[in-house]
Amino acid sequence: MYTLGIDSSTQSVKALVWDADAHKVAATASVNFGRELAEFGCPDGFLPNDDVLVRQANPAMWLAGLDRVLAKLQAEFDMSKIAAVGGDGQQHGSVYLNDAWSAALGKLRVGSSEFGVVGEGLVDIFAGVFARPVAPIWMDSSTGSQVAALDARFGDALRARTGSPAIERFTGPQIMKFAADDPAGYASTVRIHLVSSFLCSVLAGADAPIDTGDGAGMNLMDLGRGAWDEEICGFAAPGLLEKLPKVARPGERSRMGLAPYFERYGLRAGIPVVPFTGDNPASLVGTGADRPGVAVVSLGTSDVFFAAMDTFRTDPAGYGHVFGNPSGGFMSLACVKNGSLAREKVRALVGCDYAFFDEGAFEEVSNANSQLTTYNSKLFRAFPYFESEITPVHPATGIEAAFDWDKASAAEKVVSVIRGQVLNLYERTRWIGSFDTIRVTGGASRSRGIRDTIADVFGARVETLDVADSAALGAAMLAARALRA
Ligand code: XUL
């Protein structure tokens, strides 16, 4: 049995076919938004904006990415063998749809023979459905006043009910800001989807639910009940409850089937489409960490630490979150914004290649007598605040080092930044607990220097995974699980 997992993340969309009987990956394809869909003007997955707090993407780019990645996968694999589709999206991002949305979804349900195989693509079919031309994404921090309003109204109850304090990038504050800044645009919005449920809806040709894994990242869901919190939604924006799709609880049976539009990629219409989740909850499943005991460090555009939770516990310091675990129960999570894009900037700044950044620099620092006297010194850390940071909250001021940065060697710069990132992750996740084993995933997990630093700082055994894209894998596994249920 083969299932398909689609992961729409910040900088790319990936598709992975999972052979659920042989327990191996059968095929993969990916599309990088900046390089391969440059016409959407999002070189790093978002629209450049002079205001460093504003981070938005063009939602049509995600539709183009879906078409493109399926076409690429079709060149690799006999798509008629796929028995179910699952997926996930970057968390928190929201898509605002007007009353043309339903009719556009309906078009996908018309058989592909009526369309002709080389019919319109998704971007054309969904032209005119966006009540807001942009989609705020998880990197956006422009909702300070909405966060303050939620805090003032609900205080600690917000954390107890939704699993997180009010957070700038979370969808609730983002919706509040849109409703306040553009009341007419908000009034014309009939449906608000997350990136995950938006793409799932497109695949199913019908409004898809939001699962508790991704939905918990909105500040709007009563996580204990697995349902929208009517009081918070009512406070956030007028009529919000009617604009939100249904909530899907873990393991809930899905009645959605693949829309005939996707026959053009050789897929069979009607195969089950399971509710999508967030990229981190999907990755929790893909790394096999959906049972308590193992923690995961995912080193992507964001650096994220997460683990399954045996009991519902929130972060007293207010940085971490609790989300639904797609396998049931809950997961904890802490997210640092300055992950791989910041590392890339440091590499460019230092002017070194990947071999040096991932390994050579670490060897040089441990062999040579570092000018910072000792590698273990507390001073030997720097942090790349290239994006306004959320964990901890800090403006975008560039590199901040605990020593004289200008006098440091290239190797010291690289190693101190990695150490600063890992130490920060360690310090912010103490509330989650201690772990003997940490599984690392995401692009930067290829770096031996980063893996060794994680092992050293966390005092844990570090395991890498055979499959690089644990989110797409987790999504495909959830689709296989739904078939067997
Ligand atoms: C998690 C978060 C990011 C995004 C993008 O809370 O904001 O990890 O999911 O990957």
Residue with tokens 């600690």, as numbered in its chain: 156
Ligand 1: which of 8, 90, 441, 470 to mutate, most ligand atoms within 8 Å of CB?
Answer: 90
Hey, whose CA ends up nearest to atom 7 of ligand 1? 138
d(CA 301, CA 285): 19
Q: Which residues contact 427 (CB under 8 A, 6 or more apart)?
A: none
The finding on whether 91 has its CB within 6 A of some atom of ligand 1 is yes
The finding on whether 337 has its CB within 6 A of some atom of ligand 1 is no
The finding on whether 194 has its CB within 6 A of some atom of ligand 1 is no
| Distance from the alpha carbon of residue 373 to the mean position of ligand 1, in angstroms | 36
Ligand 1: which of 92, 219, 277, 297 to mutate, most ligand atoms within 8 Å of CB?
Answer: 92
What digits encode the pLDDT tens for the residues 430-473? 999 999 999 999 999 999 999 999 999 999 999 999 888 999 99
Per the CB < 8 A criterion, the answer to whether 260 and 110 are in contact is: yes
| Distance from the alpha carbon of residue 338 to the mean position of ligand 1, in angstroms | 11
Judged by DSSP in three states, 279 sits in helix
For residue 382, what are its two tokens?
A: 């720097």
Task: Please report how the helices 171-181 and 144-154 are oriented relative to each other, as an axis angle in degrees rounded to 10.
Answer: 110
Hey, whose CA ends up nearest to atom 9 of ligand 1? 91
| Distance from the alpha carbon of residue 335 to the mean position of ligand 1, in angstroms | 6
The finding on whether 441 has its CB within 6 A of some atom of ligand 1 is no
Phi then psi for 61, rounded to 5 degrees? -60, -35
Hey, whose CA ends up nearest to atom 8 of ligand 1? 302
DSSP, residue by residue, 362-426: HHHHHHS--TTS-TT-TT--EEEESSPEETTEE---EEEESS-GGGS-HHHHHHHHHHHHHHHHH
Atom of ligand 1 nearest to the CA of 169: 7
Region at 189 (left for phi over 0; alpha for psi -120 to 50; beta for the rest): beta
The finding on whether 11 has its CB within 6 A of some atom of ligand 1 is no
| Distance from the alpha carbon of residue 463 to the mean position of ligand 1, in angstroms | 22
The finding on whether 165 has its CB within 6 A of some atom of ligand 1 is no
Q: Can you give the pTM of this predicted structure?
A: 0.94
The finding on whether 304 has its CB within 6 A of some atom of ligand 1 is yes
Judged by DSSP in three states, 258 sits in coil
What digits encode the pLDDT tens for the residues 171-184? 999 999 999 999 99
For residue 379, what are its two tokens?
A: 């001073």
Residue with tokens 């009910």, as numbered in its chain: 161
DSSP, residue by residue, 29-86: EEEEHHHHTGGG--TTSSB--SSTT--EE-HHHHHHHHHHHHHHHHTTS-GGGEEEEE
The finding on whether 322 has its CB within 6 A of some atom of ligand 1 is no
| Distance from the alpha carbon of residue 298 to the mean position of ligand 1, in angstroms | 10
Cα 274 to chain centroid distance, Å, stands at 18
d(CA 278, CA 475): 9
Q: Which residues contact 153 (CB under 8 A, 6 or more apart)?
A: 235
d(CA 374, CA 270): 62
Per the CB < 8 A criterion, the answer to whether 243 and 55 are in contact is: no
User: Element (H or E) spanning 285, and its range?
Assistant: helix 279-286
Q: Which of 190, 187, 268, 171 is nearest to 228 (CA)?
A: 171
Hey, whose CA ends up nearest to atom 5 of ligand 1? 90
| Distance from the alpha carbon of residue 148 to the mean position of ligand 1, in angstroms | 21
The finding on whether 10 has its CB within 6 A of some atom of ligand 1 is yes
Residues of the chain with pLDDT under 70: 111-118, 368-378
Hey, whose CA ends up nearest to atom 10 of ligand 1? 90
Compute how many other C-beta atoms are within 10 angstroms of the C-beta atom of residue 51: 10
What pLDDT, on the 0 to 100 scale, is given for residue 116? Answer: 47
User: Element (H or E) spanning 191, and its range?
Assistant: strand 191-194
The finding on whether 429 has its CB within 6 A of some atom of ligand 1 is no
For residue 51, what are its two tokens?
A: 């205001």
What pLDDT, on the 0 to 100 scale, is given for residue 112? Answer: 57
d(CA 308, CA 432): 10
